[in-house]
Amino acid sequence: MAARKKILITGAAGFLGSHLCDFYVKKDFHVIAMDNLITGRLENIEHLFPLDNFEFCNHDVTNFIHVTGKLDYILHFASPASPIDYLKIPIQTLKVGSLGIHNCLGLAKAKNARLLVASTSEVYGDPEVHPQTESYWGHVNPVGPRGVYDEAKRFQEAITMAYHTFHGLETRIVRIFNTYGPRMRLNDGRVLPAFIGQALRGEDLTIFGDGSQTRSFCYVDDLVEGIYRLLLSDCTEPVNIGNPSEISIGDFAEEIIKLTGTDQKVIYKDLPVDDPKQRQPDITKAKVLLNWEPQIDREEGLKRTHAYFKSLPKDELTTTAHYNFDKYIIR
């Protein structure tokens, strides 16, 4: 029997990381799941602990990373990933996107492993090109509240490309657009858990701004499949992975109200600083190069996600409700 492929997943206890762990364990890879549990949760991966092709390593990737024996692949997914998180821990956000990726690249070079890094639609900032193609360079405010995340991700792309061109390292860069599904944290401030949490608690849904800003939501299983195809492809340029089905946040709130059957209303709050007005991936490249496009529409994806949030213990729903957005919202 051929030896199992070995893959290191950083940020493994987070929303995306944990779904990647499930996927690669099922594919019979040996998965090393690394996380320092600042924003990740062990509950997301504890069902994998008994398996012999899974191991968990509690480690902060901004420090030297040691892995014994061979290593075939690295997926660098460690990072706070919501505006509320990176507002709370801006320095860690910058460190994991700079020191963290540097350690991962050094490890990949030492082991001759292929590295895929999680980038984001945030590299396009508040985009002036719509939909966003990979050739667009973006419109980012480096010193605004989102700058710590956006610039860390842009640096990640730059250093990853430099290791590819200078050291000949096998690298892949995925630009991930808004993704949703089970295991999103109720208190991460992102719009989907915020709205569903509010609906389930019987609170009004908070729309920031007038709700005309748009996003395009991709179900997590589709994203994981796209990442898998990109990793195995020979495409070293960045590739958008996301669902092009675009919706305004106002209409999205209405969809959640219908889905949850709540009789709550929407209320309007100030728009966060530098909140992108529109976002929609152009996925032509993924379609052509990876033969990938999303399979799960929003109706089905939201049904599955709603079922997950409904299954959470009641006290989890009630203790995670309220954030202080005051520092984040200026206009």
274 binds ligand UDP (CB under 6 A): no
Rule CB under 6 A: say whether 213 interacts with ligand UDP.
Answer: yes
Closest distance between ligand UDP and the C-beta of residue 208, in Å?
4
Please state the φ and ψ torsions of residue 299, each to the nearest 5 degrees.
-60, -50
Q: Are the C-beta atoms of residues 238 and 157 closer than 8 Å to each other?
A: yes
How is residue 40 written in tokens? 């990740």
Pull the structure tokens for residue 176.
């991930």
Give whichever of 29 and 127 is closer to ligand UDP, judged by the CB atom: 127
- Is 219 designated active site? no
Query: Quick one: which of 62, 79, 82, 264 contacts ligand UDP (CB under 6 A)?
Result: 82
**Residue 145 or 294 having the CB closest to ligand UDP:** 145
Strands 246-248 and 214-216: antiparallel
CA torsion 269→217→141→135, rounded to 10°? -150
Q: What burial class does residue 137 get, using C-beta atoms within 10 Å of its C-beta: 0-12 exposed, 13-18 middle, 19+ buried?
A: exposed
Binding track, positions 158-197, relative to ligand UDP; x by CB under 6 A: --------------------x----------xxx--x---
- Please, which residue, 160 or 280, has the CB nearer to ligand UDP? 280
Binding mask 41-80 for ligand UDP (x = CB under 6 A): ----------------------------------------
Binding residues for ligand UDP, rule CB under 6 A, total 15
Which residues are registered as beta bridge partners of 267? 206
Q: Which stretch binds ligand UDP (CB under 6 A): 4-12, 69-77, 205-213, 299-307?
A: 205-213
Nearer to ligand UDP, 8 or 176 (CB): 176
The residue within the footprint of ligand UDP, chosen from 275, 282, 290, 292 (CB under 6 A), is 275
Which residues are catalytically annotated?
149
Binding site for ligand UDP (CB under 6 A): 82-83, 178, 189-191, 194, 206-208, 213, 215, 249, 272, 275
